[in-house]
Structure 1
Amino acid sequence: MSYLIRVLAICLAVRLSSVDAWEHGAGPAPNNGAARQFIVFDPTVAGNPAVAQAVPLDRTGWTATADSSQSGNAASSVLDGDTGTIWHTAYDPTVAQLPHNIVIDMKAAKWINGVTIMPRQDGNNGNIGQHTIEVSQDGTNWGSPVATGTYLNDKSLKTTIFGNRLARYVRITARTEAQSDANQWTSAAEINILAGPDPILPPGQWSGTIDFPIVPAAAAVVPRTGKVLAWSAWAATQFGGSPGGYTLTATYDPATGVVSQRRVSNTAHDMFCPGISMDFNGRPVVTGGNDAAKTSIYDPIADTWTSGSNMKISRGYQSSTTLSDGRIFTIGGSWSGGNGGKNGEVYNPSSNTWTLLRSATVANMLTKDRGGVYRADNHAWLFGWKNGFVFQAGPSINMNWYGTSGSGSVKLSGPRASDVDAMNGNAVMYDAVAGKILTMGGGQHYQAAPGIPNTHVITINNPNASATVTKVANMAYARAFGNAVVLPDGKVFVSGGQGWAEPFTDNTAVYYPELWDPATQTWTVMAPNAVPRTYHSIGLLLNDATVLIGGGGLCGNCPTNHFDAEIWSPPYLFNADGSRATRPRITAVTPTTSGNAEVAVGGTLTVRTDSAVSKFSLVRMGSATHTVNTDHRRVPLTGTRTTTNQYSVKLPTDAGVLLPGYWMLFVMNDRGTPSLGFTVKVKL
């Protein structure tokens, strides 16, 4: 492509016609719900869209007003360019009570996509904790927040990036003080507003930013509540050199927008770089990592962490998966606990015991990474399957079956067609009934290697039988370190990653996610996210059929720490004119136990809805770290109408297809619009 054509492509890509402009009354509704391609599409220039650029605007002539100010600490101090002066809320003669807000008036409407807040540099008094950020064109009508969350309590610059908005006013509301919930004051040294040109948006829509007090490098969807439990390491911004056995966590509640935080020390486990599986009681079981032998278990009902027994082999960067009998299998993980020999073992949650599987050898699944076994046994693509077997789909080009009975076993299933080793790529079981797995992306080496766009469909059936592999259309963007989830309708969403695999840099970051359609076996480019999501990022399907992506970094004082997340709403949530589609609603599901839907493998659900529906699916709740989300899978279901808006839904009879544990039940109408997920426990 010539230089002139590239320039024209970029110019067209930044034309101001975003969904956000329409939402705030700045133009006609875009055709956001339609399945259309990006108007100018050239991966060589569009991989780093203008929407991601965020630079401070000139603040000349701006004003700042606040609900409260102490004499000598006026709101205007945040615009004077001097980090030695601060805005501080009133504390003498009386203390003004939280919440507090400060409003920046830019004097004219501008396209903006972020805010930076410099805390006071002479102490922590008044640092903003829980907060919301809103924008307005008239100072009266504010609409939904563009960002919510909790900031880390330190002196570092706080940066919040969101999708482009046309606004004159920015309002920052502090709901808590970061140092202590008991403190009532708020302060800030400097506030800047960021801007970047707006692109023509492909399908889908992104939320405002959710700020976390940590870099969320690992996360799980909590059964029953639908909250997102995230964690980093012993510190909010870095790993390694742990002072001893604890982990910083944060929990995001989509229902309220509140992000809470906790330091987990009772398990004496630094849970960075672990294996994660959701057991049959919906408990995230977190193994190894920085404290390489440990097991920690989160109880979502009691909201507590407890210690499990230690693994037989110390591990970090291993993968694990829940089995058809409810046990958990893990393998690999030479990142910590010594190099090599990381053969398989299984955990029994009922007895809290680990059993080594000496014949489930790791050697079969090694890649040819230039870093040797330290990298070659990392992040296996594992899928629990029938009769306690595990299918290992990658990232090695050789695929394998692992047996978990007795001392274990391993049998080669053949190569992944003409693919290459694909470390830090993704694999998603999008149709468990048909044994269908989509694989995508990765790189031939863990780092310092080009990302690949390769995409394959793997079909598995009986354990130890050779899998069938079909090459399908490549992604538009080569990417390693991305994240992938399956949606209720069976389409697969992949986001983030970078074109050149290199930890702790956002160079070559891919901002445009893609959506794969199993009917056409092709990818469609989606609307770009605002923040790069590369190494140490996460991706999870939420109960409302949207996708949360977040994190990236966790590298100390590096510039690529991302203390935030974004939520993507797929095209199926929109009408053709860009307005929100009306969702069908599940009104009741039986059988129930103690008020919760529970059913055995092979059982039948009775589903009542508020309107006619035509499709049904179960999606298992996921957990993600380092591109791995092994237990997440989709089971399409068939419903038979029994009376008006009531359906009988038969479940698969094999626990290897329908793993025991917690699932989200979705119904979809004829337009493909899904309901909110209804939590269903599949019993052993």
Structure 2
Amino acid sequence: MKRSSFLIPAVSILILLTVLFPNVSSASKKEFKDYEILKENSGINAMHICLTAPDKMLIIDKVQNNSIHLPDGRPVSTLEYDLNTGKKRFLSLQSNTFCSSGGFIADGTLVSTGGAEQIPDKHFKAGFSALRFFKPCQNDKCKWREDLNGMMTHRWYSTSTTLSDGRLFILGGSKVSIAVNNKTMNNPTFEFYPRTDPTPIDFPFLIETLPYNLYPIVHLMPGPKDQTLLFVFANKDSILFDWDSKKTVHKFPRLEGASRSYPLTGTSVMLPLRPEDNYIPQILVCGGNEKNDTKHEAANSCGRIKIDLSNLDKAKWEIDDFGGIPRVMPDGVILADGQILFLNGAKTGIAGYSSKLGKVKNKLLKADNPDLTPVLYDGQKPKGKRFTKLNHSTIPRLYHSVASLLPNGQVFISGSSPQSDVTLSGVKFPTEFRIEMFSPPYLSSNTARATIKSVNGSKKLNQGPIKVKYNKHIKVDVELSDKKANFTAAIVHYGFITHSVHMSERYVFCDIKNIKRKGNGYTMDVVMPPNGNIMPPVPVYLYINNNGVPGETAVHLHLSK
């Protein structure tokens, strides 16, 4: 890799974060901190989140007694949050989004899928079979569009995944709201959006994995352009499924130990894909619980499996601990440098709402002992040395908490609503509206951060996604003065995040060629991945890292054929 030979004065990371995100508390101007609580809260619980623009987080809640209301008097259940100012733009929906899923399709539209029962007294309709569409815009006028019967069947706790052709694969769930799935309420089928089949297609794997099969884990398998394979995991089992032939092509060994699916909720990430490894995927599944027991300690274990499609019989689970901390309901966030941040959740119990104990005001907690200590996972290190404990937070993040990487390298953390309705006092774990910005260790480094100045000649960055093509070199100019600069590049899709499932989250390293010095920086060619199986045709963010430290902000791109 070519190295730079130009140095500029170091800029305080604290000043930089204040400029990028003035919505943090003034404490950040005095000293660097891992966590900063934003001045403006979320307004509603962040049950689901999705970044729709570099400075806009879409927040979705279920229909409940939120204190903010739409002009028609109904409670707000979805809004767009401005990361720079904290301003909230309230949006209107007609259906209940409780425990829905979502993902982007090829034209950049976010599609929200499924939901729960109607709420007559609040004038919301049932969302079980609903599709909701949100096309991000630059003028703050974009709205939700809904089709209340857009799906062919009811889906509650289903999973949505973007395919290589830009469609959405919608899998599983139950037909009604339910604490633990059963064979009567189970929905062991899948469908596509846009629709291609007249009826839902049977998916027997979701019968075999009862009762813990809600929000199944799904990863699109990297491979050649014409490949049509998905990795699907539920409970303790996993398969390789061909979504074109609609057949299971391989069953992997069982991941022994804890169950990993709701309500014994774990999480999963696909480790960053690397061209030098021919994009061979490795799947990591962590956390959960061995028993459906509110008092039972969560799982302190992870399973990791390497899937070489040329030799599937060698695919075996490697068991590791979970950084020495038991955790149920964790979130797995792939950071800007390709390491994995695990945070949120509890050390004991399961996912679900607290339940009443007769007329007693206190409630039976489904989970307790909140896990305030995040762990960092370096997948390039040998087993036993991959986890590092980080500084702890002070805010419990239990049921319905979320986290996502942001373009500036920070992590957005919000949510936690273990009560069945908005409850701000009188309980051990009230509904949580505070938003934290977590700064990973790379943001406390003295390493100079690159500033992307142009992409393919365009200097209009993050004013809408720049369209780029597969397998093409894109010209990137950066401003950076560092005699020891060492560049890496990656494109990241943050996904749709809810209930510890980061749907379609993906990180792909990109080759860099023709690095040349130019003025007070560098120009380089960044090679886009070869096809939609490596990264689907969705909005992504380009990171240019210097010695593992991300640039000041990633640039919004949209991959297309």
TM-score of Structure 1 vs Structure 2, range by shorter chain: 0.7 to 0.9
Is the contact between residue 189 and residue 200 of structure 2 (CA under 8 Å) also seen in structure 1?
A: yes
Which stretch shifts more, 315-324 or 615-624? 615-624
Judged with a 3 Å threshold, the aligned counterparts in structure 2 of structure 1 residues 246 and 277 are, in CA distance, closer, same or farther, namely farther
Q: Does 1:392 align with 2:231?
A: yes
Counterparts of 1:197-346 in structure 2, within 5 Å, are 205-209=34-38, 210-223=40-53, 225-236=54-65, 248-256=77-85, 258-265=86-93, 268-290=94-116, 291-301=127-137, 303-308=142-147, 310-334=150-174, 336=176, 339-346=185-192
Counterpart of 2:45, as a letter, is V
Whole-angstrom distance in 1 between the partners of 2:436 and 2:544: 25
Give the structure-2-normalised TM-score: 0.76
**Structure 2 residue aligned with 1:33:** none
**Structure 2 residue aligned with 1:646:** 523
Whole-angstrom distance in 1 between the partners of 2:187 and 2:165: 26
Counterpart of 2:524, as a letter, is Y
Is the contact between residue 343 and residue 358 of structure 1 (CA under 8 Å) also seen in structure 2?
A: yes
**Structure 1 residue aligned with 2:244:** 405
Q: Does 1:532 align with 2:378?
A: no
Whole-angstrom distance in 2 between the partners of 1:365 and 1:657: 29
Q: Does 1:422 align with 2:260?
A: yes
Judged with a 3 Å threshold, the aligned counterparts in structure 2 of structure 1 residues 145 and 390 are, in CA distance, closer, same or farther, namely farther
Is the contact between residue 322 and residue 328 of structure 1 (CA under 8 Å) also seen in structure 2?
A: yes
Is the contact between residue 311 and residue 354 of structure 1 (CA under 8 Å) also seen in structure 2?
A: no
What is the Cα-based RMSD across aligned positions, in Å?
Answer: 3.2
**Structure 2 residue aligned with 1:605:** 474
Three-state SS of the structure 2 residue aligned to 1:211 is coil
Of 388, 400, 413, the residue aligned with 1:549 is 413
Give the structure-1-normalised TM-score: 0.63
Counterpart of 1:460, as a letter, is I
Is the contact between residue 543 and residue 550 of structure 2 (CA under 8 Å) also seen in structure 1?
A: no
Whole-angstrom distance in 1 between the partners of 2:204 and 2:473: 39
Q: Deviations over 1:339-395 (max 9, x none)?
A: 1233111112xxx6665452433436624xxxx3xxx22011101235463533524
Counterpart of 1:360, as a letter, is F
Is the contact between residue 455 and residue 475 of structure 1 (CA under 8 Å) also seen in structure 2?
A: no
Whole-angstrom distance in 1 between the partners of 2:33 and 2:207: 40
How many residues are paired up?
471
Which has the higher Rg, Structure 1 or Structure 2?
1
Whole-angstrom distance in 2 between the partners of 1:680 and 1:468: 36
Whole-angstrom distance in 2 between the partners of 1:394 and 1:314: 21
Deviation at 1:571, TM superposition (A): 0.5
Q: Structure 2: 5+ residue runs without aligned partners?
A: 1-13, 15-21, 117-126, 178-183, 274-278, 354-364
**Structure 1 residue aligned with 2:4:** none
Deviation at 1:619, TM superposition (A): 0.8
Counterpart of 2:98, as a letter, is F
Q: Does 1:630 align with 2:460?
A: no
Judged with a 3 Å threshold, the aligned counterparts in structure 2 of structure 1 residues 603 and 379 are, in CA distance, closer, same or farther, namely same
Counterpart of 2:113, as a letter, is T
Q: Does 1:363 align with 2:229?
A: no
Deviation at 1:539, TM superposition (A): 1.1
Of 438, 452, 465, the residue aligned with 2:284 is 438
Q: Deviations over 1:588-620 (max 9, x none)?
A: 112769974222222222111112441111111
Whole-angstrom distance in 1 between the partners of 2:555 and 2:414: 24
**Structure 1 residue aligned with 2:330:** 482
Q: Deviations over 1:184-224 (max 9, x none)?
A: xxxxxxxxxxxxxxxxxxx971112451211111110113x
Q: Identify the structure with bigger relative contact order (alpha carbons < 8 Å, sequence gap 6+).
A: 2
Judged with a 3 Å threshold, the aligned counterparts in structure 2 of structure 1 residues 461 and 303 are, in CA distance, closer, same or farther, namely farther
Whole-angstrom distance in 1 between the partners of 2:106 and 2:406: 19
Is the contact between residue 587 and residue 610 of structure 1 (CA under 8 Å) also seen in structure 2?
A: yes
Deviation at 1:669, TM superposition (A): 0.9
Q: Structure 1: 5+ residue runs without aligned partners?
A: 1-22, 24-130, 135-141, 147-164, 166-202
Deviation at 1:273, TM superposition (A): 0.3
Judged with a 3 Å threshold, the aligned counterparts in structure 2 of structure 1 residues 300 and 627 are, in CA distance, closer, same or farther, namely same
Is the contact between residue 247 and residue 264 of structure 1 (CA under 8 Å) also seen in structure 2?
A: yes
**Structure 2 residue aligned with 1:566:** 436
What is the identity percentage for the equivalent residue pairs of Structure 1 and Structure 2? 20
**Structure 2 residue aligned with 1:491:** 339
Of 509, 513, 517, the residue aligned with 2:370 is 509
Three-state SS of the structure 2 residue aligned to 1:363 is helix
